[in-house]
Amino acid sequence: MANTPQSAKRARQSEARYKINKMRRSRIRTFLRRVEEAIASGDHAAAQEALRAAQPELMRGVSKGVVKKNTAARKMSRLSARVKAVGATAAPV
């Protein structure tokens, strides 16, 4: 329970920030899930398109402080490697 007006305001701000960050995190996860689903379906073109859409969303999360920079870089690296692997198996040599 907040005892001073300042701490009450900080509690309100914290709650508002929590809701905003929760929405941002959810949006990022949605974009990443779309990439995962495209990879699972084996459709290289759809996976590439989903990855292109997910990258700016993930970087936006970094700039807003929802996701750490290295975490975003790791996720992008791993996803792009998996998308590339889908393309390698789909295309005849």
pLDDT (tens digit per residue) in 51-93: 999 999 999 999 999 999 999 999 999 999 999 999 887 666 5
Q: For 34-46, write each residue's pLDDT tens digit.
A: 999 999 999 999 9
pLDDT greater than 70 at residue 23: yes
DSSP for 62-87 reads HHHTSS-HHHHHHHHHHHHHHHHHHH
Q: How many domains does the chain have?
A: 1
pLDDT band with cut points at 50, 70 and 90 for residue 18: very high
Rounded Cα gap, residues 43 and 76, in angstroms: 18
Closest alpha carbon to 50 in 23, 9, 91, 86: 86
CATH number of the domain within which 19 lies: 1.20.58.110
Measured in whole angstroms, the distance separating CA 76 from the mean position of its chain's CA atoms is 9
Structure tokens at 10: 């900080």
Which domain covers residue 48, as residue numbers? 5-90
pTM of the model: 0.86
